[in-house]
Structure formats: C-alpha cells, structure tokens
C-alpha cells in the first residue's frame, strides 16, 4: 500500500456530479476503490451558476467515493471539462541544429512541444497540447523522434483551450472541496481513453459524447486527437422539448423520457401506449408512445446533423475508416444506434467503457465513460500537471518524465521557432 498511488476523476456535468477513486498499485494496475455520484446543483449551460450549491453536490459525491477508504487519499485529481467555450487549433513548431548534439532526447521533444503553446491570450487557458505527428529531416509520419539522429525536427500539435472564467470557477469549486486538480481534461478526449479501440484511433474516427447539456466531439487521426469541439445541446434539451409538448414538469418529462424514449419512433407499433405519471394530484394518463418519442427524435436528429456539419467544417469530406463512435448518457436511449447508422451511413457504434477492476457493473455504462476515461488518462499521464492560477504560468505545463534519467544538455537549442 505504501508504494500505491491514488487517483481521482471528477466529472461535473449538467445532470450528475461524479467522483471515482482508484488505486494504482506497483505503477501499472488500476483498481477502483470508491465511486460517488449525485444530482448536479448550481451548474448549467456550461458554467458554474451557484458555487455553494455545486460545492455541496461535489462534497456529497466525494464523501461517498472515499467512504471505504476512511480518508481523502487521492493526490492525483483529474477533472473533465465540457463547455461551449472550448476551442481547438493545430500548431506547428520546429527545432534545428541538432546533428552535432547526438540522438534526439526527451528534453528536445519536451521543448519542441512546449513551443506549440499559443502564449497568454485574453479569455482562454490551455487544456491540452497533444503532438499529432513529427517530421524528421523532411520525413513525415514519425510517431516519436526520441533516439533518432536528425538535423531538424518538426511537430504538429493539437491545442485545446477553454474559457478562462469557466476554468477558474471549476478549479475554485474543486479546491474548496479539497480536490485541487492536477489537470483538466476535455471530456471527449478523456472519454476516448475509455471507449475507443486502438484500431479506431489508428484508422481515424469521430467520437461524440452526448451528455445532458452538451455534445462533445473529437476527431482522431493516426492515433491522436486532431480536432475537438463542443455543441451546446444534449439530453436536457430533449427533456425540455418533451416537457413543452406534453405540458409536463421537467422532472416528470425526464422520467417519461427514460421510461418510454425511443430514438426511432417510426419503428414503433402505432397502437403502443406510454403511461404519463400523475402530477399535481392528477391521475396518470396514457398517450401514444410515438407522440412521446417524436420530439425526442427531432432534437436528436438536430444534434447529429450539427455533428455532421462540424465534421465538414473540420475538413472531413467522408467519415474516417474507424467510423463514428457515440457514448454518453443519451447514447443509452433505445434506438440511438439505429438512428446513428441511418443518418451517418457508415461504420457506427455505441461504445461502452472498457472494464476497470473494482468498478461496479451498474456503472460500466456510456453515461460514465467520461470520468472513467479521465481516470485512465490521469494514470497514463503520471506526473503531468498544469497550474491554473490566472497568470502566465497557467500556460506552462510541468512535465515529469518517468522513463529513466533524462539526458543533460549543456547548451540551449540552436533554434526553436513556433510557426
């Protein structure tokens, strides 16, 4: 136990707040030791609306997650981020004058990637700078240049930034709950670690996480994120539409959606009835299930059309060979995969997260893909942290390489330029 490290993933969503704690034994075996989740309060529309209410929800989830451990032991806390304030772009940088220094080392690569940072900018903080591929002396498609002899190395990196105020608010709430994050992880990037196969990443694929308030998407190419975006639509908008159509309170509409929702109403028997629970002392009543499902279908179709449009805006003319992979709570709706296949016209699937030791089976669902993936992301990127204090150091990522002793360099690089 003394050599074990504890990790925690925090997922603050529109509908639920979740904390998952796991132990990393001997540096390679991850086992879930506690899970807590509760209804979210004080958070909506991609921002913190009431810090005190959100802190109460997060503390409740954290207390449940730590219950079997007896005390707060996780020092490696990672959190998902989902907001329409998330933006992305790809950045290039290069190093020259390496031939006389011997093989390319970890230090050169770290400095090269760091030079892809956009620098301080009004209103945004960096979440990720992820190398897509390297070019060594004009030869592209290099995954890792460490150990190669080269005069020039160039990198193309995927940069994800988020609205500064949103980041500060999340960090403030988490810190108040004794869960200061080592790093924030874009939701669809985190979810990818839980649901995507290696083949899908390598072939290239589109991942969407359809949650309560947003739909997060990342396009993967050659194993790495290449484009990221967030649509401000999700399952709660489907619930709102249903409430408006049937004149129901939101909580009743959510219950009806979960009990009777189907993403392909045209496939339903015209005579099938849905039961609407009683409200305000009224008796329960029945209505055609097709009538219940039609507004849900229409909103889902709008979301998927926007996903396809965003793919086109990213430069994709066709669906990548790895297809479109969907996860998130809304993807659990019956008929969702059928609707996805009908609209996309290519390889599609609804993805359930990979097995993690110790995780209760009832939580191994698409709705929990993001926190599970973020937990895996944190364990995979051990030693990586970022400072979120609102000044220039917020943009500097501190990396600790755990691949043995790094090479020492007596002189600075001949040239590091950001293009």
SS3 assignment for 199-211 = HHHHHCEEEEEEC
Residue 355, both tokens: 């097995």
- Give me the residues paired with residue 155 across strands: 93, 134
* Per-residue model confidence (pLDDT) at position 339: 97
- Tens digits of per-residue pLDDT, 365-380? 999 999 999 999 998 8
Residue 156, both tokens: 């193309």
- Tens digits of per-residue pLDDT, 293-347? 999 999 999 999 999 999 999 999 999 999 999 999 999 999 999 999 999 989 9
Phi-psi region of 123 (alpha: psi -120 to 50; beta: other; left: phi over 0): left
Q: Are 94 and 152 in contact (CB under 8 A)?
A: yes
- Tens digits of per-residue pLDDT, 232-243? 999 999 999 999
Measured CA to CA, the distance from residue 238 to residue 193 in angstroms comes to 27
Look up tokens 């031939």; give the residue: 99
Q: Provide the whole-model pTM.
A: 0.88
Measured CA to CA, the distance from residue 205 to residue 199 in angstroms comes to 9
- Tens digits of per-residue pLDDT, 356-366? 889 998 899 99
pLDDT at 399 over 70: no
Query: E strand or H helix at 169, and its extent?
Result: helix 164-176
Comparing CA positions, the residue from 319, 292, 140 lying closest to residue 217 is 319
Measured CA to CA, the distance from residue 282 to residue 417 in angstroms comes to 70
3-state secondary structure of 344: helix
3-state secondary structure of 413: coil
Cα 334 to Cα 154, 157, 175, 263, distances in angstroms: 46, 38, 38, 6
Summarize the confidence of residues 344-352 as an average pLDDT: 94
- Tens digits of per-residue pLDDT, 26-61? 767 889 999 999 999 999 877 899 999 999 999 999
* Per-residue model confidence (pLDDT) at position 403: 31
Domains of the chain in start order, with CATH, are 88-161+390-418 (3.30.1490.110), 197-350 (3.30.420.40)
Q: Are 326 and 350 in contact (CB under 8 A)?
A: yes
- Tens digits of per-residue pLDDT, 145-195? 999 988 899 999 999 999 999 999 999 999 999 999 999 999 999 999 999
Measured CA to CA, the distance from residue 323 to residue 397 in angstroms comes to 32
212 — pLDDT class (breaks 50, 70, 90)? very high
Summarize the confidence of residues 259-277 as an average pLDDT: 96
Residue 215, both tokens: 């739909």
């Amino acid at each position: 136990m003394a050599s074990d490290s504890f990790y925690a993933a925090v997922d603050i969503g529109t509908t639920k707040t979740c904390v998952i704690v796991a132990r990393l034994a001997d540096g390679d075996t991850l086992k879930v030791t506690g899970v807590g989740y509760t209804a979210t309060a004080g958070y909506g529309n991609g921002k913190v609306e009431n810090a005190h209410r959100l802190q109460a929800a997060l503390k409740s989830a954290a207390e449940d997650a730590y219950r079997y451990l007896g005390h707060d032991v996780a020092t490696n806390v990672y959190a998902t981020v989902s907001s329409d304030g998330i933006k992305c772009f790809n950045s290039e940088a290069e190093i020259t004058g390496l031939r006389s220094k011997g093989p390319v080392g970890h230090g050169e690569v770290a400095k090269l990637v760091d030079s892809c940072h956009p620098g301080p900018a009004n209103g945004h903080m960096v979440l990720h700078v992820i190398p897509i591929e390297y070019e060594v002396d004009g030869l592209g498609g290099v995954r890792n240049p460490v150990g190669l002899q080269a005069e020039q190395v160039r990198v193309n990196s995927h940069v994800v930034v988020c609205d500064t105020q949103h980041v500060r608010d999340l960090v403030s709430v988490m810190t108040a709950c004794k869960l200061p994050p080592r790093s924030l992880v874009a939701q669809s990037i985190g979810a990818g670690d839980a649901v995507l196969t290696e083949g899908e990443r390598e072939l290239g694929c589109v991942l969407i996480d359809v949650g309560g308030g947003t739909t997060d998407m990342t396009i993967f190419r050659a194993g790495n994120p290449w484009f990221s975006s967030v649509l401000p639509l999700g399952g709660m908008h489907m619930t709102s539409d249903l409430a408006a159509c049937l004149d129901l309170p939101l909580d009743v509409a959510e219950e009806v959606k979960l009990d009777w929702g189907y993403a392909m109403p045209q496939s339903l028997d015209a005579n099938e009835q849905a039961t609407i629970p009683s409200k305000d002392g009224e008796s329960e009543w029945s209505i055609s299930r097709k009538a219940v499902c039609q507004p849900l279908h229409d909103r889902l179709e709008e979301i998927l059309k926007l996903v396809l449009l965003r793919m086109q805006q990213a430069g994709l003319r066709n669906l990548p060979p790895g297809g479109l992979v969907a996860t998130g709570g809304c993807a659990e709706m019956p008929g969702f995969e059928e609707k996805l296949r009908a609209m996309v016209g290519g390889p599609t699937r609804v993805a359930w997260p990979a097995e993690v030791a110790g995780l209760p089976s009832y939580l191994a669902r698409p709705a929990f893909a993001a926190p599970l993936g973020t937990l895996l992301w944190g364990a995979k990127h051990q030693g990586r942290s970022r400072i979120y204090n609102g000044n220039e150091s917020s943009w500097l990522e501190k990396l600790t390489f755990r691949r043995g002793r790094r090479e020492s360099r007596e002189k600075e690089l001949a040239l590091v330029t950001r293009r």
